[in-house]
Amino acid sequence: MRFSKWTVLVTAIVCAGEAGAQQSAAPDRFPARPLRFIVGFAPGGAADIPARLVAQKLSESLAQPVIVENRPGADGIVAADSVAKSAPDGYTMAYITAGHAMNSILHAKTLPYHPVNDFTPISLVASGPLTLVVNRALPVKNLKDLIALAKAQPGKLNYASAGSGGTMHLAGELLRQVAKIDIVHVPYKGGGPALTDVIAGQVELTFVGAPAAMPYIRSGRLKVLAVSTARRSAALPDVPAIAELGYPQYELATWYGLLAPARLSSATALRLSGEIAKVVSAPDVRERLLGFGIEPAGSTPEQFTQHLRNEIARWTPVIRQSGLRIE
């Protein structure tokens, strides 16, 4: 069969129009298959617990499964790197913590990605304090007792973290500096294993996100001495902030957010951020997040991008002054 040049031209125009229409309609059909949250920490940790709640509710909202996949290692770097190298189609996202911003300073020479430019920030999810918790057998009732014990036994008390350079590590390092005590850092591959060993008495204390600590605080298996934020937490109103106990320069909050690979379409990014905002603002989700000791905090991609840049700028002088480097 022969085609005239006009037939070919008209056919090309029609096909191009159909392709354009399909492309513009693509965001409306998103998602067409399951999505994944890549969590850079072990199951049961402070990042993992709210991630699973948000994933469950997002799957209901999008009518597609949202699978939580744990890839612990290097305080979230392993997980974030895998997402940075994924297809920019909106189906794979990194569920990150505040450590993502700190990693860019602590691992400045070895980080395999740029913390902002190699991603499409989607949304802030929630924020809250770290809790300073100790094994219930440790003979202390409050922060003053802990500091007195540490000064009486320099180098004898150990604090666990989810890995070198993360928020749990930095929280302990800041306490060591401001209180002028000698406590020893013990890194783990995730907040869950770190917390387990504090409960078992293998390590004396840790700074851990409220979602992971709350069940053990309520059951009495851990003693909570303070929170890391500048003010008390609404979820733990009877627990003082370190800043109000004679260390006003002490302040550290943790937060959780979602990143997709760079070059994700703005339509898909906006769709995802809008769904996240809807999920975390739902009364039942908000209540459960507050029960975990954190506050819901949806945002636009632009707002989350600026938040990341602000966090990097804020922590750069703090970490450099501490002399802490992990290369």
Contact call for residues 167 and 155 (beta carbons, < 8 A): no
Q: Are residues 156 and 61 in the same domain?
A: no
Q: Are residues 133 and 239 in the same domain?
A: yes
pLDDT at 258: 98
pLDDT tens for each residue of the chain, 327 residues long: 444 434 333 334 334 444 444 444 344 589 999 999 999 988 888 889 899 999 999 999 999 999 999 998 888 899 999 999 999 999 999 999 998 999 988 888 899 999 999 999 999 999 989 999 999 999 999 999 999 999 999 999 999 998 877 789 889 988 998 999 999 999 988 788 899 999 999 999 999 988 889 899 999 999 999 999 999 988 788 999 999 999 999 999 889 999 999 999 999 999 999 999 999 999 999 999 988 888 899 999 999 999 999 999 988 887 887 676 665
CATH number at residue 117: 3.40.190.150
Q: For residue 223, tell me if it sits in a domain.
A: yes
308 backbone dihedrals φ, ψ, rounded to 5°: -60, -45
Q: Are residues 110 and 195 in the same domain?
A: no
Q: Are residues 150 and 230 in the same domain?
A: yes
Tally of structural domains, the chain: 2
pLDDT at 3: 40
Q: Are residues 100 and 150 in the same domain?
A: no
Q: Are residues 155 and 67 in the same domain?
A: no
Q: Which of 182, 214, 245 is the last residue of a domain?
A: 245
Strand ranges for 242-321 from DSSP E = 253-261, 295-296
Q: Are residues 79 and 151 in the same domain?
A: no
pTM of the entire predicted model: 0.77
Q: For residue 257, tell me if it sits in a domain.
A: yes
Q: For residue 298, tell me if it sits in a domain.
A: yes
69: helix, strand or coil: strand
For residues 165 and 214, what is the distance between their CA atoms, to the nearest angstrom?
Answer: 24
Q: Which of 192, 216, 245 is the last residue of a domain?
A: 245
CATH number at residue 234: 3.40.190.10
pLDDT tens digits for 49-84? 899 999 999 999 999 999 999 998 888 899 999 999
For residues 250 and 246, what is the distance between their CA atoms, to the nearest angstrom?
Answer: 9
Contact call for residues 131 and 208 (beta carbons, < 8 A): yes
Q: For residue 76, tell me if it sits in a domain.
A: yes
Q: For residue 179, tell me if it sits in a domain.
A: yes
Q: Are residues 149 and 220 in the same domain?
A: yes
Domain that holds residue 268: 32-128+253-322
Q: Which of 212, 245, 278 is the last residue of a domain?
A: 245
Q: Are residues 117 and 259 in the same domain?
A: yes
Taking each helix axis from N to C terminus, what angle separates 48-62 and 283-291, rounded to the nearest 10 degrees? 170
Q: For residue 203, tell me if it sits in a domain.
A: yes
